[in-house]
Amino acid sequence: MTAKIIDGKQVAQDIRAELKAETARLKEKGIVPGLGVILVGEDPASQSYVTAKERACAETGLYSDDNRLPATTSQAELLALIGKMNADPKINGILVQLPLPKHLNEAEALMTIDPSKDVDGFHPVNVGRMVLGEKAFLPCTPHGVIQLLTRSGVQVGGAHVVVVGRSNIVGKPVANMLLQKKENANATVTICHTGTADIAYHTRQADIVVVAAGRPNTVTADMVKDGVVVIDVGVNRVEDASRKSGCRLVGDVDFEAIKEKASLITPVPGGVGPMTIAMLMYNTVESAKTSAAG
């Protein structure tokens, strides 16, 4: 079997087009969803993420308040800016780009964001609501994974999903979201991690494998069954002398070999990556609608 490639760029574009139509309708009612973005320091990957977010806001009809602060910013200055955004009615969502420079306290910064503006879904209140199955901002990358599966026609309910990775940003939330007794979920979920004795034993039984391990070739073709659906959340830069840049991006799975065995697979780049920003826009629009409804 040769897999069908899931085109994450196209799915993200579809979602952004839906949101653009929604922001046009909201504008007629005088509502412009606003996203406050805070980037501290000069990390190049974070800078390009933030630039992409700002561009996506402009294209989708959202207002964005962009704040690029020097690496020397103090914790008090960061918290003060978050506080100002919490109080600003033009801002419906606040995004503090991670990772923060080492001298700053990330957990305290995320806790300071008003949960009703926590469009990343990282605040413990939103994490708790998500786990309990209550209405919450869902974290963007895991929500993007679920959108990719359902918009590709994959039956998640009743499927056995094996998640490889247990990070707070992807592994834990995606597993929790997939096991909810809800539409587009209701799966049997196994979570594998660095403490798992035999990861292949689990992944071979999976109908769907979601890999967010942060390491190339974590899942190879011998570790999956025929017809499996593979969602690769990994983004790794590896050396490639044939490229002008000297490197290329790969995911966490052996894409070339697994695509001969899988029914569906996401590429890297162009799979899960574009979905994160689309879901961030989605959460910001939802926040504006909730706030307008009072």
Interface with ligand GUN includes 140 (CB under 6 A)? yes
Closest CA to 178 of 154, 214, 201: 154
Residue 146 is a binding residue for ligand GUN (CB under 6 A) = no
Active site residue 120: yes
Angle between helices 273-293 and 8-28 (to 10 degrees): 20
Instruction: Count how many residues are written for the chain.
Output: 294
Strand arrangement, sheet containing 4-5: 4-5, 264-265, 229-232, 208-211, 160-164, 188-192
CB 121 to ligand GUN: min, Å: 9
Q: How many residues bind ligand GUN (CB under 6 A)?
A: 8
Is 81 near ligand GUN (CB under 6 A)? no
Q: Does 97 bind ligand GUN (CB under 6 A)?
A: yes
Contact window for ligand GUN (CB under 6 A) among 60-68, 92-100, 123-131, 195-203: 92-100
> Could you say which residues in the range 262-291 bind ligand GUN, by CB under 6 A?
276
Decide if 155 is catalytic: no
Q: How many CB atoms lie within 10 A of CB 238?
A: 10
Q: Is 118 in the site for ligand GUN (CB under 6 A)?
A: no
Spell 56-84 as b/e; 16+ CB within 10 A means b. bbeebbbbbbebeeeeebeeeebbebbee
Reply yes or no on whether 225 is catalytic.
Answer: no
Catalytic residue among 120, 232, 252, 254: 120
Which active-site residues does the annotation give? 53, 97, 120
Residues that bind ligand GUN (CB under 6 A): 95-98, 120, 140-141, 276
